[in-house]
Amino acid sequence: MQISENINNHYQRIGGDEKIRALVQRFYQLMDELPETHGIRKLHPESLKGSEEKLFMFLSGWMGGPQLYVEKFGHPRLRMRHITFPIGDEERDQWMLCMKQAMQDVIEDKALREELAAAFFKTADFMKNKENK
């Protein structure tokens, strides 16, 4: 698939593959290190390498770049692929904590961080599949 010609897309604005990979690596590093994200960390396999690669491929296309995930796995079907994991407000918020900090550490453009945070929250909130306590 072709990269969108829109130079204002998130893929171009973030800096392409290199920056997306750095964002994903930082995200999973934080998930592994922050005690307050233990809830979502335990939902992942011991090694985060596979999760890291899948998120990188997904974000490439999601941000307007090459559709790496779709080419390898087909439609993301995010909610269906996450349905076996209990996701509520706590898990969503832990995921967002990691992503917001990763964006703060990797993305210089504040406006881009804010746009992505809003889009990530909307997607993470859509993943919820359990009632809050």
Q: Does the pLDDT of residue 95 top 90, yes or no?
A: yes
CATH number of the domain where residue 87 is located = 1.10.490.10
pLDDT level of residue 103 (50, 70, 90 thresholds) = very high
- Residue 77: inside a domain: yes
How many domains in the chain?
Answer: 1
Could you report the per-residue pLDDT of 48-88, keeping only the tens digit for each? Answer: 999 999 999 999 999 999 999 999 988 888 888 888 889 99
pLDDT, position 61: 95
- Residue 34: inside a domain: yes
Question: Higher pLDDT residue, 53 or 4?
Answer: 53
Cα–Cα distance for residue pair 95/128, rounded to 1 Å:
12
- Residue 65: inside a domain: yes
Instruction: Output the pTM of the full model.
Output: 0.89
Residues of the domain holding 30: 15-126
Q: Cβ of 83: how many Cβ atoms within 10 Å?
A: 12
pLDDT, position 133: 61
Cα–Cα distance for residue pair 40/6, rounded to 1 Å:
34
- Residue 8: inside a domain: no
Residue whose C-alpha is closest to residue 9's, from 119, 130, 131, 128: 119
pLDDT, position 79: 82
- Residue 2: inside a domain: no
